[in-house]
Amino acid sequence: MDLDPAQLKALAAVVDEGSFEGAARLLSVTPSAVSQRIKALERSAGHVVVRRARPCEPTVPGRALLRLAREWSVLEAEAAGVLGGDDPDAHVRLAIAVNADSLSTWFPPVLAGLAPHVLLDVRREDQDHSAALLREGSVMAAVTTDSAPVQGCRVHHLGDMRYLAVAAPHFVARWLPEGPTHEALGQAPLLAFTGKDALQDRFAEQVTGRRVDPPRHLVPSNHAFVELVMRGLGWGMVPEQAARAGAARGDLVELAPGQHLDVPLYWQHWKVGSHWLGVLTGRVVEHAAAELRS
């Protein structure tokens, strides 16, 4: 199988832009040139690589080629950087996925010290999605709660993110006057990030020994989540630092002092030998060691 980087780039452009016309604009060629490259790629690969739909999407064999296209473009940009010296166009783009709680707490400083020609494309994703993004090559690394290595990736354990169960003082007085009993936690409304967020349920089961299924609000924004817990909409699991800061101000109280949930976080990244991915990995591991529980 002889693969042509220009054809792989056409595939990546079609997927990124969602259409052959968009890819043609991006690559500054005609739509028919894009179409010819995709057809040639399909002949080489022996598979249809992209579903002609709105938007265009990679097929299963197309996804493997898409990942190869992304890996090639990173390596090529790095080689160009080495060869080209100070060419201002020689940017390296690092696409990564980061779970929402990391993105709103310990992760931003990791990104602040990279060289100016490294451009970051950050996705805010839950762990289910991160694995798919790594597999198809849309991102080259991810901070995720998923320890199962994605094919072709290496996994580092970064440490644990600690969560405390907190609520507003008037919420506790109204709903949990006798503490986090099974009956009280079965009725008191809780906040969850999304329908898949089971942190609150796990904590309630840990504290009471049984499952509960109280009414729940879904609020998928870290800022809004903490603010609405402080305003008494429900109780929720909040990252340790924000929980302690709220408690110190008198805005939050812990439901079960001394109890917590620790969520292990992992850094999954492609095995491809990219210099900048290596630098980023070093920074991620270093900051995680300082900011997360080990």
> Which residue type sits at 72?
W
Choosing from 147, 151, 187, 206, the residue that interacts with a copy of itself (CB under 8 A) is 187
185 strand-pairing partners: none
> Which residue type sits at 258?
G
Q: How far is the CB of 120 from a copy of itself (least distance, A)?
A: 4
- For residue 53 the two structure tokens come to 């739909």
Does 196 sit near a copy of itself (CB under 8 A)? Answer: no
Whether 254 contacts 120, CB under 8 Å: no
Choosing from 6, 224, 245, 289, the residue that interacts with a copy of itself (CB under 8 A) is 224
For a copy of itself, the closer of residues 122 and 155 by Cβ is 122
Choosing from 231, 278, 282, 289, the residue that interacts with a copy of itself (CB under 8 A) is 231
Stretch that binds a copy of itself, among 3-11, 36-44, 159-167, 209-217 (CB under 8 A): 209-217
Tokens 């001394």 correspond to 258
Does 4 sit near a copy of itself (CB under 8 A)? Answer: no
For a copy of itself, the closer of residues 172 and 219 by Cβ is 219
Choosing from 50, 165, 233, 252, the residue that interacts with a copy of itself (CB under 8 A) is 233
Instruction: Give Cα 168 to chain centroid, integer Å.
Output: 29
**Interface of this chain with a copy of itself, residues 96 to 115, rule: CB under 8 A:** 100, 103-104, 107-109, 111-112
> Which residue type sits at 34?
V
3-class SS of residue 166: strand
Does 22 sit near a copy of itself (CB under 8 A)? Answer: no
The interaxial angle of helices 20-27 and 5-17, nearest 10 deg, is 120
Does 223 sit near a copy of itself (CB under 8 A)? Answer: yes
- The Cα–Cα gap between 1 and 120 comes to 32
Q: Give the count of residues interacting with a copy of itself (CB under 8 A).
A: 35
Run of H or E including 222: helix 222-230
Q: How far is the CB of 80 from a copy of itself (least distance, A)?
A: 15
Q: Distance of CA 227 to CAs 76, 207, 276, Å?
A: 45, 24, 37
- The Cα–Cα gap between 61 and 64 comes to 6
Sites of contact with a copy of itself (CB under 8 A): 88, 91, 100, 103-104, 107-109, 111-112, 116-117, 119-124, 187, 189, 215-224, 227-228, 231-233
